[in-house]
């Protein structure tokens, strides 16, 4: 590993800090982040690139903005394998996803979800998916259409019949 790191260090965009190798990630909107390899490999996609020796230059992270990528990196830092993380602090940080009724919160979680999916980060994907599920489980059908930006394609008659069939699910 150490020899590989030294050899790779000569190529552009790749630096080492002590014995820890740094990877350079570039967001869709051009922001550049240097991240420890040990942390970034929480992404299965990036881990694959590292394993295949394809992570020697700047890694473009398409479809993810700098703002979202910064959030992803914050997640990685909090969930670093082997890091002594304070359970309580971690829970507190995760709890920001508990309430995503606010539109901007929702958009943040959406962006994180897309990033977690693109970079294949199972723990983050799991956390965001659960957060959305928790936020929507009590919603009405109209609220759901608004939340997911869906237009109903039922005509009135069809919807009435379907509601009747599932009547119990509309009761408290």
Query: Could you tell me which stretch among 13-21, 29-37, 81-89, 138-146 binds another protein (CB under 8 A)?
Result: 138-146
CB of residue 75 to another protein, shortest distance in Å: 17
| Smallest separation (angstroms) from another protein to the CB of 87 | 22
If binding is defined by CB under 8 A, does position 45 make contact with another protein?
A: no
Could you tell me the two tokens for 76?
């990685």
φ, ψ (nearest 5 deg) of residue 154: -85, 145
What's the residue count for the chain?
172
Cα distance between residue 116 and residue 64, in whole Å: 10
Residue 61 φ then ψ, to 5°: -105, 90
Binding to another protein (CB under 8 A) within 149-168 occurs at: 149-154, 159, 162-163, 166, 168
- Decide whether 5 or 136 has the Cβ nearer to another protein: 136
Decide: helix, strand or coil at residue 80: coil
For residue 162, the minimal CB distance to another protein (Å) is 5
Residue 144 sits in the site that holds another protein (CB under 8 A): yes
Three-state SS string across 52-105, please?
Answer: CCCCCCCEEECCCCHHHHHHHHHHHHHCCCCCCCCHHHHHHHHHHHCCCCCHHH
**Contact call for residue 170 and another protein (CB under 8 A):** yes
Query: Shortest gap between Cβ of 158 and another protein (angstroms)?
Result: 8
Query: What's the angle, vertex CA 49, arms to CA 44 and CA 52, rounded to 5?
Result: 120
Class of residue 85 by CB neighbours under 10 A (exposed 0-12, middle 13-18, buried 19+)? middle
In the region spanning residues 94 to 133, those forming contacts with another protein, defined by CB under 8 A, are 106-107, 110-111, 113-114, 117, 125, 129-130, 132-133
Residues that bind another protein (CB under 8 A): 106-107, 110-111, 113-114, 117, 125, 129-130, 132-133, 136-141, 144-145, 148-154, 159, 162-163, 166, 168-170
């Amino acid at each position: 590993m150490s020899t590989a790191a030294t050899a790779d260090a000569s190529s552009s965009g790749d630096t080492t800090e002590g014995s820890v190798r740094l990877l350079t990630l570039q967001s869709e909107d051009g922001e550049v982040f240097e991240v420890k390899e040990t942390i970034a490999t929480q992404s299965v996609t990036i881990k694959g690139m590292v394993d295949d020796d394809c992570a020697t230059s700047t890694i473009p992270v398409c479809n993810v903005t700098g703002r979202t990528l910064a959030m992803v990196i914050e997640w990685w830092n909090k969930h670093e394998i082997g890091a002594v993380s304070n359970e309580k602090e971690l829970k507190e940080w995760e709890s920001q996803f508990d309430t995503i009724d606010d539109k901007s919160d929702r958009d943040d979680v959406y962006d994180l979800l897309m990033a977690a999916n693109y970079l294949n980060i199972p723990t983050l994907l799991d956390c965001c998916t659960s957060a959305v599920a928790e936020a929507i489980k009590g919603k009405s059908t109209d609220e759901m259409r608004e939340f997911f930006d869906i237009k109903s394609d039922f005509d009135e008659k069809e919807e009435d019949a379907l509601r009747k069939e599932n009547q119990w699910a509309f009761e408290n």
